[in-house]
Amino acid sequence: MISSTMMAMTQLVTQLVFLLVIFHYSIATDTLNPNQPLRDDQALISGKEIFALGFFSPGRSKNRYVGIWYNKLQPAGQKTIVWVANRRSPLSGTNGSLELNGNGSLTINSMIFLPMPMVALTNPVAQLLDDGNFVIREANSSEFAWQSFDYPTDTLLSGMKLGWDLRTGLNRNVTAWRSYEDPSPGSYALSIDLEGIPQANFWSGSTKKWRSGPWIGIQFSNAGEQPSNYGLRFDFVHNKDEVYYMYNTTGTNFVRRALVDQSGKVKDFVWIERTGRWNHFLDYPINDCHEYSKCGPYGVCNLDVWPICRCLQGFKPKSPQEWPLMDTSSGCDRLTALDCKNRSDGFMAVTIAALPETLSTILYTNISQNECRDRCLKNCSCTAYATANISGAGLGCVIWVTEIIDLRMSPNPTQDVFVRLAAADLASISNKSSKKSQSKSVVLIIVFSMVALIIPLIYFCSWGKKKMIHKDVRGNGEFELAQLQWSTLMEATHNFAKTNILGKGGFGLVYKGKLAEGREIAVKRLSRNSTQGIDEFENEVTFIAKLQHRNLVRLLGYCIKGDEKILVYEYMPNGSLDPFLFDKEKGDHLDWQTRFHIIEGIARGLLYLHQDSRLRIIHRDLKASNILLDIEMNPKISDFGLARNFGDRETMIKTRKVVGTYGYMAPEYALDGVFSMKSDVFSFGVLILEIISGQRNRVFLSSPHLYLLGKAWRLWNDGKGLDFLDPLIGNSFSMTQVMRCINIGLLCVQEKPEDRPIMSSVVIMLGNDDAPLLEPKEPGFKAIFSPKHDAALNQNELHTFNDITLTEQTGR
């Protein structure tokens, strides 16, 4: 009796649940009809279930928005939003509804949120297509009266146009969200510029950050290598009706999306079907030289030299006092004025990576190079010309009528630009080239005849150079740094006022300063009581002056006056990472995407130090307080006072002088004085785990007493990795990404150096979800013993953690 009653109740409940599901999702098709509103708890699903449209709340926000997201291609626990309807007008509750009116207009809670069809439709339907486009059309027509593709938000999808409809004046541009929890338009935007030769521009407010360069038939000239091996098709249309860029993945085995991110990047992602993951493969700007007008007018950016900015031959820095401070935005001036009246000017050929900025240019089609040269000489405003194959215009000639900017070198430069110079400067360049050619023959004779003397001379000079490091620093001969006046720094810091103090380290105090021209700087003043200050000072000058990377802090200059030794850096408005992680008021502003962005940046900076720079540098003091954050929260590794240079054949060094910060030191270094690149990897692993958890690497009261590494290890082994995540992050995170980062962090802090990955592997693992991850082994320094075992500990066992920075400690 009981059994039959239970069965009947079960059947009744099942039927009720089924009816509720049918009622709840009765509109879960791809089409919305008039007078059939889409409620907050419902969704449209495209025909092949690729995209979904419905209501959502980003991150921890309580606001509700109507958006489109990938229905199946989702990181665990997250929606990949590609379009937002009411990004400027959020709803405050869950009682919203999307409705198609009988005249063909869409409303959210009876409010029209975007421009709708001008002509009333008689039998309208709204449909979500499998390419992510939400369209309105007549029921029996394939023509769209309105489409979401005409109103992009932060994402460019396959088949979506970026650019202009010249017939209607419609400008389709892509704009970043204001924040990860606010999809309203932010300050970053990608758009097509119609002035000059049309190209794509990336903006931060009214400031241009990057440009694509003209279209050259297969891609934009300044866009870098595209993943053509995946079968992508890129199109650029430029005619009297439209100017737009579009890519198409139809017929390929993967999905691509381009995202304008609120961190100030244009990011490309692909979802490859056979792997089932998003892959982040490219950012714009790609590097420092891709940043718009990095070296100013007539300046050339070249990552293969230092400093990376140089003036073209025949030009000099416009503001000589600013160039040594790495402020090259003012560019270069001519050595000799042009003489258009007497037509004595000529041209210097410069081979670069792509055409300079084409905003103020004249494009002539189907003329020869000689004709182009003649037209430039006859035009007194002409500063340069080039032959170019511009798609849509054919082979022709480009003439610049203003200063030329955004010149960039690459390992394989392909574009010739002919820069107009005065006759005197051309003659000077010609003489130098002739003398250089003649001197080569003389040098060869001397080298072959004096080879026996040169070898010991090289040895002697190398020894002498080490002895003369103070002379190099004072003389400013090798590093091309600005030697600033004491009076300038006194004025900039208001006589080193206490109110200007930014922080304190082992080197001394750091002050905020402001130069007369308005540039903000950070001034590190060597403490007179610092026993290690001289070594740190020389290290900073020796290393940072030779290094150039977006994730390293930039040294601008120095000052030596008596006992005073001062280093001047670029100012980082957001200070160090330390308070953002461990101060709960600041930590509340550090969401997961920003934390992951910081982790990736530190990894790339460390890879540059270990492998990609002209030196091989071991930092030895990588910690949260030595990671500085710029205005856009980009991380920059700082404080190279304890760094060491590795020779090409060196793999590890043993020292009796252990320096650094407990809590970040690798076991082999803290206990035995042995350090290597793997020592930095250990420190980086500690940093990852601190960034994820928002906790310092110190003792947690448990049995045994665990450090942060031990806590992470225990939770990982128990399958509770997400419990390690800082609760301030809330629910706005990718579970897969968090677990991957914990895994990588634990791999980096393994006890044995040989078990830890190198930084190139770390960067690949962070940036590519397809990269396989090993299971980590037990970390070093995961726990201390209970007090009854303390007496048995070796006297060199590590107890004190990252509250202390060592200045000298003898390793056993």
Going by the annotation, the residues of the binding site are 524
The alpha carbons of the chain give a radius of gyration, in whole angstroms, of 31
Distance from C-alpha of 74 to C-alpha of 72, rounded to nearest angstrom: 6
Dump strand ranges (E) for 518-663: 520-526, 555-561, 564-570, 617-618, 627-629, 635-637, 644-645, 653-654, 660-661
Residue 359: count other Cβ atoms within 10 Å of its Cβ: 17
The DSSP bridge partners found for residue 69 are: 52, 81
Distance from C-alpha of 293 to C-alpha of 331, rounded to nearest angstrom: 9
Integer angstrom CA distances of residue 395 from 117, 219, 275, 407, 416: 41, 16, 42, 21, 14
Q: Are strands 415-421 and 346-352 parallel, antiparallel or unpaired?
A: antiparallel
Distance from C-alpha of 600 to C-alpha of 582, rounded to nearest angstrom: 20
Backbone phi, psi, residue 193, to 5°: -95, 130
Q: Which residue has the tokens 């000017």?
A: 345
CA 604 from centroid of its chain's CA atoms:
10
The DSSP bridge partners found for residue 203 are: 189, 208
Ramachandran area for residue 694 (φ above 0: left; ψ -120 to 50: alpha; else beta): left
Show the DSSP H helices in 95-219 as ranges. Answer: none
Give which of 545, 504, 544, 543 is closest to 527, Cα–Cα: 504
Distance from C-alpha of 420 to C-alpha of 377, rounded to nearest angstrom: 8
Q: How many CA atoms lie within 13 A of 127 on its CB side?
A: 16
Catalytic one of 30, 621, 639, 769 = 621
Distance from C-alpha of 672 to C-alpha of 96, rounded to nearest angstrom: 65
288 assigned to active site: no
What is the token pair recorded at 591? 């969401």
Distance from C-alpha of 522 to C-alpha of 500, rounded to nearest angstrom: 10
Distance from C-alpha of 664 to C-alpha of 627, rounded to nearest angstrom: 13
Burial 292-327 (b: 16+ CB within 10 A, else e): bbbbbbbbbbbbeeebbbbbbbbbebbbeebbbbbb
Which residues does the annotation place in the binding site for ATP? 524
Angle at 727 between CA 721 and CA 729, to 5 degrees: 100
Which residues form the catalytic set? 621
